[in-house]
Amino acid sequence: MTGEYILRVEDIHKKFNDREILRGISFNVKKGATIVFIGPSGTGKSTLLRCINQLTEPDRGKVFLDDEEITGCGSRISGYRQRIGMVFQNFNLFDHLTAVENVEIAPIKVRKMKKEEAHAKAMEELHRVGMADWAHHYPAELSGGQAQRVSIARCLAMDPEVILFDEPTSALDPELTREVLEVMKDLARSGMTMLVVSHEMGFARSVATEIIFMEGGRIVEQGSPLEIMNNPKHPRTREFLGRIEHT
Amino acid sequence: MDPITFLTQILAPALWKGLIVTVALVVLTAPFGLLLGTGLALGRQYGGRALSTACSGYIVFFKGCPLLLLLFILYFGLPSLGLTLPAFTAAVIGFILCNAAYNSEYIQGAVASIKDGQMTAAQALGMTRAQAIKSIILPQAMRRAIPGLSNEFIYLIKYSSLAYMITVVELTGAAKIAATRYFMFNESFFAVGIVYLALVTLTTYAVGRLEQRVAIPGMGVKT
């Protein structure tokens, strides 16, 4: 049972002050799967992603990467984070570094790769996301879509086994959203395992292997895009989908 | 003695010697003041409660202690505890201790101004906190701290004259000795004022060049 999943999340709970954000989240992720999390704002989707790579420490529950428990692993977490990439809503590119330096810094500092090798790898990843021509530009000189594509390249340069996308297109206008979604679709097709918090239903329909609808810190419903989008069982899922279709 | 002879034969050579001592005081103080200031800032920002409190205590103490008093303690006070420091060494130590306290305030402000997302992204890539601070946070924060640090550097040039109070004959001391001996106060202090002005102007220019050099394109730093 366990070996077929690259990532297992078991009964994650998280409270901030007295507010319970996650109330027992469990799911499994198969290698190459694309899971899209949808649900109202403040429902704990981003916190859940941050609990997976331990940027936020869950109060209870376990996360396993390839059957190795990463919750409560102390300083070894840096090693696991190298295997779980993350893409942020606000890109979080390093402002003082050019695009290519942003991509090569982690391989150099964390994986101790030689500078030339890391540079070649960085250029390869920038090329993959269509940003090779912008390699020597600084983040402040890039559009939101370009910055997000660089941040995806930065993630890919570490050869992650799973990538967490935390609302990667929420800060972008529709035109820029499209260029980022194209890169993500290519990634999904290439077999990358992806967990995506997003309300891009077109993306979810065409790429997701599973959609998880969350509300109030719980998973309300999960299933294939066809099941969730065409035939949602739970009334809250129906209501939510109805609402976002009209926006 | 006529003023021209005094300025060229007496004052100029004396000020030159004094200038060398002033520059030595500043050059020896600044790097260690910066290093200690950075350590204090990071200790306060990222250290645990004990380290953070210790750093804050240091800063409160040395910001509150008049520099002259500190120099007196180091030079005149420590010998009674069995530790005698040469005047120049006592001055440099006093300046470093004081300079670091003020530098740390500028650096900590700059570190705190770096968006949380920078640290988060670095850690998400597998960097440890120390790696993230060294490679991501400090390079950005130091750029932002340059204007404050340069002010402190200019203060250092000027308050280095306090070293004379513990017998280090630096620029002001050299002028004072020449002025007293030849009773030419206006000429001496006007001349030394010009030397300080030149030093500060040079520093201001150099800092401007440095800011341009390390400016991040697109980040709105004036060029």
List beta partners, residue A24.
Answer: none
Question: Which CATH fold topology does A2-245 show?
Answer: Rossmann fold (3.40.50)
In a domain, B220, yes or no: no
Average pLDDT over residues A20-28: 95
What's the token pair of residue B113? 């101004």
Q: Which of B125, B115, B97 lies closest to B39 in space, CA to CA?
A: B97
Q: What angle do CA B185, B186, B191 make, to 5 degrees?
A: 100
List beta partners, residue B12.
Answer: none
In a domain, B127, yes or no: yes
User: Are residues B216 and A95, on separate chains, in Cβ contact within 8 Å?
Assistant: yes
Question: Is A234 in CB contact (< 8 Å) with chain B?
Answer: no
User: Are residues B121 and A138, on separate chains, in Cβ contact within 8 Å?
Assistant: no
Q: What is the pLDDT of residues A46-90, one digit of tens each?
A: 999 999 999 999 999 999 999 999 998 888 999 999 999 999 999
d(CA B214, CA A56): 34
Q: Which of A221, A220, A188 lies closest to A203 in space, CA to CA?
A: A188
Q: What is the pLDDT of residues B51-80, one digit of tens each?
A: 999 999 999 999 999 999 999 999 999 999
Q: Which residues on chain B place their C-beta less than 8 Å from a C-beta of chain A?
A: 115, 117-118, 120-128, 131, 135-136, 139-140, 143, 216-220
Instruction: Please state the domain count of chain B.
Output: 1
**A3, A67 contact by CB (below 8 A):** yes
Residue-level pLDDT at B139? 96
d(CA B55, CA B48): 11
Q: Do the bridges between strand A34-38 and strand A210-215 make them parallel or antiparallel, or are there none, so unpaired? A: parallel
Name the pLDDT band for B1 (thresholds 50, 70, 90): confident
Name the pLDDT band for B140 (thresholds 50, 70, 90): very high
Q: What is the pLDDT of residues A114-147, one digit of tens each?
A: 999 999 999 999 999 999 999 999 999 999 999 9
Element (H, E) at A34: strand A34-38
- Beginning with the edge strand found earlier in the chain, give each strand of the sheet holding A68-69 in spatial order: A19-30, A5-16, A60-65, A68-69
Residue-level pLDDT at B222? 46
A207 burial (CB, 10 Å; 0-12 / 13-18 / 19+) is buried
Residue-level pLDDT at A246? 59
Return all residues near B76 (Cβ < 8 A) that are at least 6 apart.
Answer: B166
Q: Which residue of A has its CA nearest to B136?
A: A94
List beta partners, residue B124.
Answer: none
Average pLDDT over residues A152-161: 96
In a domain, B114, yes or no: yes
Name the pLDDT band for B220 (thresholds 50, 70, 90): low
Average pLDDT, chain B: 94
In a domain, B66, yes or no: yes
Instruction: Say if residue A3's pLDDT is above 80.
Output: no
What's the token pair of residue B6? 């005094």
What's the token pair of residue B9? 């034969």
In a domain, B84, yes or no: yes
In a domain, B190, yes or no: yes
**B202, B23 contact by CB (below 8 A):** no
Residue-level pLDDT at A72? 85
Q: How far is B85 from chain A (nearest CA, A)?
A: 43
Supply the range of the domain harboring residue B123: 3-214
Name the pLDDT band for B223 (thresholds 50, 70, 90): very low
CATH number, domain of B141, equals 1.10.3720.10
How many helices (H) and strands (E) chain B has is answered by 10, 0
Of B117, B127, B140, the CB nearest to A78: B127
How many helices (H) and strands (E) chain A has is answered by 9, 10
Q: Do the bridges between strand A210-215 and strand A218-223 make them parallel or antiparallel, or are there none, so unpaired? A: antiparallel
Residue-level pLDDT at B211? 93
Q: Which residue of A has its CA nearest to B144?
A: A96
Q: Do the bridges between strand A60-65 and strand A5-16 make them parallel or antiparallel, or are there none, so unpaired? A: antiparallel
